[in-house]
């Protein structure tokens, strides 16, 4: 029995096919692998290629049903979609993957299964196999608490609303469309039947008060194991997170090396948000007016056939490109954020981007677009004081939702100035951001909060299964 307890856990990880979900869950899988556990990541061939950098876990692939859903070969990740139809087809494909994945797991059962909350079917599978199941959805615990509170109290349809029973007074000015809210709430209900949530954050950023609040109001367990982006140690490895970068790390670093400390605004809206030209033009005009240099990641546009160069770039004010670096496609975000010349991050508040900025000690200019991002913004600005808001109050553009609203240049410019122009407020925000970065680093080091949580979780799973 003693020897059995020493046996590594056999763990299956099933990440959702979107960069914002895959990157952190695969990083977290590596945390387990680095502690001697036997890890298998279950995914599709194209997504498996993005995992080449590590040898300490196994990958089990299943053919992506491209033909069945009418997609070209190689489009297997939500982050490679640039229109709603493609996104819907990828979602459809993930439902078709259930059957082959399920039968593989049944034939080769693990000790525990860790799956994205967008795969609620794993609940029944784990019950059938009598194995523990952990859930990952890539959200902060703060956001999960907020969503739970909104669900329990049946609020959120009319605005503004105060999140009920919360340790802080947090007023929300944005609500999801009713059908999306119901969908997320149904997934959360299934997630709460699991053996616990895995959170890509460190406990100090969500705060003890939210951990206690969560456990008290739900009776469910949450394990802070992040920041996931700290799993790897060298820049070159970090450059390969997610999709392939269209610029080299060297090019980004040498451009940033030529700039002053804290002088550059980094702009990126994650992997599934794409703005129309008129919104890009407002951003460009605001940055131009602020006078700051920038690195701006713009999703690669497919462009219509016969579109002239001028038509393709009609969102750029004249001469604008000269004062910064525009990256069309995928950028080495973690490397950029980690460079001392970067003084602020204009972000959509996707949770990965948020926690990566915190880890780098970079203040945020917050512009939520959809999903959990509006809650993340409140944690950053109102609760932890490490960013300022642009003032976006509505769901706008992303892979599964579109509306025609545009945020005007004046609001963007004002927020950029508040963080970049070095006044008292900016200095305090920067100081707090640096303190959280230090805490993040300590959390994943030996004896830190996330490190200890992982030790406790592995022990807990062993007592349940071995």
Ligand X SMILES: O=c1ccn([C@@H]2O[C@H](COP(=O)(O)OP(=O)(O)O[C@H]3O[C@H](CO)[C@@H](O)[C@H](O)[C@H]3O)[C@@H](O)[C@H]2O)c(=O)[nH]1
Quick check: 271 binds ligand X (CB under 6 A)?
Answer: yes
Q: State which residue, 41 or 458, has the beta carbon closest to ligand X.
A: 41
- Segment near ligand X (CB under 6 A), from 95-103, 173-181, 307-315, 345-353? 345-353
- Cβ atoms within 10 Å of 378's Cβ, excluding its own: 24
Quick check: 352 binds ligand X (CB under 6 A)?
Answer: yes
CA angle 394, 397, 402 (to 5 degrees): 90
Contact with ligand X (CB under 6 A): which of 57, 202, 281, 330? Answer: 330
277 part of the active site = no
Q: State which residue, 15 or 110, has the beta carbon closest to ligand X.
A: 15
Spot the catalytic one: 111, 116, 195, 206. 116
Question: Which residues touch 233 (CB under 8 Å, ≥6 apart)?
Answer: none
- Which residues within the stretch 215-244 sit at the binding site for ligand X (CB under 6 A)? 241-242
What is the C-alpha separation between 346 and 365, in angstroms, rounded? 5
Number of residues that bind ligand X (CB under 6 A): 27
Q: State which residue, 370 or 417, has the beta carbon closest to ligand X.
A: 370
Q: State which residue, 23 or 433, has the beta carbon closest to ligand X.
A: 23
116 part of the active site = yes
Quick check: 47 binds ligand X (CB under 6 A)?
Answer: no
What is the C-alpha separation between 232 and 34, in angstroms, rounded? 10
* Phi, psi (rounded to 5 degrees) for 426: -60, -40
- Characterise 430 by phi-psi region: left (phi > 0), alpha (psi -120 to 50), beta (else): alpha
Quick check: 335 binds ligand X (CB under 6 A)?
Answer: no
- Segment near ligand X (CB under 6 A), from 16-24, 65-73, 105-113, 386-394? 16-24
Quick check: 116 binds ligand X (CB under 6 A)?
Answer: no
Which helix (H) or strand (E) segment is 342 a member of? Answer: strand 342-347
Contact with ligand X (CB under 6 A): which of 267, 331, 440, 444? Answer: 331
What is the C-alpha separation between 378 and 160, in angstroms, rounded? 14
Say if residue 396 is exposed, middle or buried (CB neighbours under 10 Å; 0-12, 13-18, 19+): buried
* Phi, psi (rounded to 5 degrees) for 249: -60, -40
For residue 418, which of 407, 406, 427, 431 has the smallest C-alpha distance?
427
What is the C-alpha separation between 55 and 244, in angstroms, rounded? 18
**Shortest distance in whole angstroms from residue 176 CB to ligand X:** 11
**Shortest distance in whole angstroms from residue 239 CB to ligand X:** 8
Q: Interface mask (CB under 6 A) for ligand X, residues 286-315, using x and -?
A: -----------x------------------
- Segment near ligand X (CB under 6 A), from 17-25, 213-221, 276-284, 429-437? 17-25
- Segment near ligand X (CB under 6 A), from 13-21, 29-37, 56-64, 427-435? 13-21
**Shortest distance in whole angstroms from residue 308 CB to ligand X:** 26
Quick check: 25 binds ligand X (CB under 6 A)?
Answer: no
Q: State which residue, 59 or 358, has the beta carbon closest to ligand X.
A: 358
Buried b (16+ CB within 10 A) or exposed e, 227-257: bbbbbbeeeeebbbbbbebebebeebbebbe
- Segment near ligand X (CB under 6 A), from 137-145, 251-259, 275-283, 384-392? 137-145
Contact with ligand X (CB under 6 A): which of 80, 201, 290, 353? Answer: 353
- Segment near ligand X (CB under 6 A), from 94-102, 107-115, 284-292, 369-377? 369-377
For residue 256, which of 328, 319, 335, 331 has the smallest C-alpha distance?
335
What is the C-alpha separation between 107 and 125, in angstroms, rounded? 12
What is the C-alpha separation between 29 and 248, in angstroms, rounded? 26
Quick check: 19 binds ligand X (CB under 6 A)?
Answer: yes
Q: State which residue, 88 or 465, has the beta carbon closest to ligand X.
A: 88
Contact with ligand X (CB under 6 A): which of 9, 11, 14, 23? Answer: 23
**Shortest distance in whole angstroms from residue 75 CB to ligand X:** 16
Residue nearest to ligand X (CB): 20
Q: State which residue, 51 or 131, has the beta carbon closest to ligand X.
A: 51
**C-alpha distances in Å from residue 144, one per residue of 86, 141, 188, 442, 466:** 28, 5, 8, 24, 31
- Segment near ligand X (CB under 6 A), from 42-50, 95-103, 315-323, 352-360? 352-360
Quick check: 362 binds ligand X (CB under 6 A)?
Answer: no
* CA of residue 13 relative to chain centroid, distance: 17
- Which residues within the stretch 435-454 sit at the binding site for ligand X (CB under 6 A)? none
Q: Helix, strand, coil % (nearest 5) of the chain? A: 50, 15, 40
Contact with ligand X (CB under 6 A): which of 141, 272, 316, 379? Answer: 272
For residue 174, which of 454, 23, 392, 332 has the smallest C-alpha distance?
392
**C-alpha distances in Å from residue 173, one per residue of 105, 319, 395:** 43, 36, 11
For residue 134, which of 37, 55, 47 has the smallest C-alpha distance?
37
Quick check: 371 binds ligand X (CB under 6 A)?
Answer: yes
Sites of contact with ligand X (CB under 6 A): 19-21, 23, 137-139, 241-242, 268, 270-273, 297, 330-331, 333-334, 350-353, 356, 371-373
Catalytic residues: 21, 116
């Amino acid at each position: 029995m003693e020897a059995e307890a020493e046996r590594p856990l056999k763990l299956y990880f099933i990440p959702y096919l979107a960069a914002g979900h895959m990157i952190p869950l695969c990083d977290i899988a590596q945390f387990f692998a680095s502690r001697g556990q036997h890890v298998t990541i279950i995914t599709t061939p194209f997504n498996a290629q993005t995992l080449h950098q590590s040898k300490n876990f196994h990958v089990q692939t299943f053919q992506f049903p491209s033909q069945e859903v009418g997609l070209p070969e190689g489009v297997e990740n939500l982050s490679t979609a640039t229109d709603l139809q493609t996104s819907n087809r990828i979602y459809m494909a993930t439902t078709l993957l259930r059957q082959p994945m399920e039968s593989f797991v049944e034939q080769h059962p693990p000790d525990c299964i860790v799956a994205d909350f967008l795969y609620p079917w794993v609940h029944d599978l784990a019950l059938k196999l009598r194995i523990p199941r952990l859930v990952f959805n890539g959200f902060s615990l703060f956001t999960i608490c907020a969503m739970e509170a909104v669900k329990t109290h049946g609020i959120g349809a009319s605005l503004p609303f105060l999140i009920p029973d919360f340790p802080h007074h947090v007023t929300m000015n944005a609500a999801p469309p009713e059908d999306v809210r119901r969908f997320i709430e149904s997934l959360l209900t299934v997630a709460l039947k699991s053996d616990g949530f895995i959170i890509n954050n460190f406990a100090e950023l969500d705060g003890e008060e939210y951990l206690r609040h969560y456990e008290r109001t739900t009776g469910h367990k949450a394990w802070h194991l992040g920041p996931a982006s700290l799993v790897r140690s060298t820049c070159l490895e970090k450059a390969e997170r997610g999709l392939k970068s269209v610029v080299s790390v060297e090019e980004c670093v040498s451009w940033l090396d030529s700039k002053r400390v804290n002088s550059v605004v980094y702009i990126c809206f994650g992997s599934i948000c794409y703005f129309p030209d008129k919104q890009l033009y407002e951003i460009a005009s605001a940055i131009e007016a602020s006078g700051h240099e920038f690195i701006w990641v713009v999703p690669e546009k497919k462009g219509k056939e016969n579109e002239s160069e001028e038509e393709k770039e009609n969102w750029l004010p004249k001469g604008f490109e000269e004062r910064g670096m525009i990256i069309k496609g995928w950028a080495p975000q973690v490397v950029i954020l980690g460079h001392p010349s970067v003084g602020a991050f204009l972000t959509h508040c996707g949770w990965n981007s948020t926690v990566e900025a915190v880890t780098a000690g970079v203040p945020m200019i917050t512009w939520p677009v959809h999903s959990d991002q509006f809650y993340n913004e409140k944690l950053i600005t109102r609760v932890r004081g490490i960013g300022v808001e642009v003032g976006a109050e509505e769901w706008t553009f992303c892979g599964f939702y579109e509306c025609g609203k545009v945020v005007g240049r004046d609001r963007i410019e004002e927020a950029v100035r508040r963080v970049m122009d070095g006044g008292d407020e900016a200095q305090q925000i920067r100081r707090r951001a640096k303190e959280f970065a230090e805490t993040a680093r300590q959390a994943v080091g030996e004896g830190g909060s996330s490190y200890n949580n992982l030790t406790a979780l592995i022990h807990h799973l062993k007592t349940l299964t071995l």
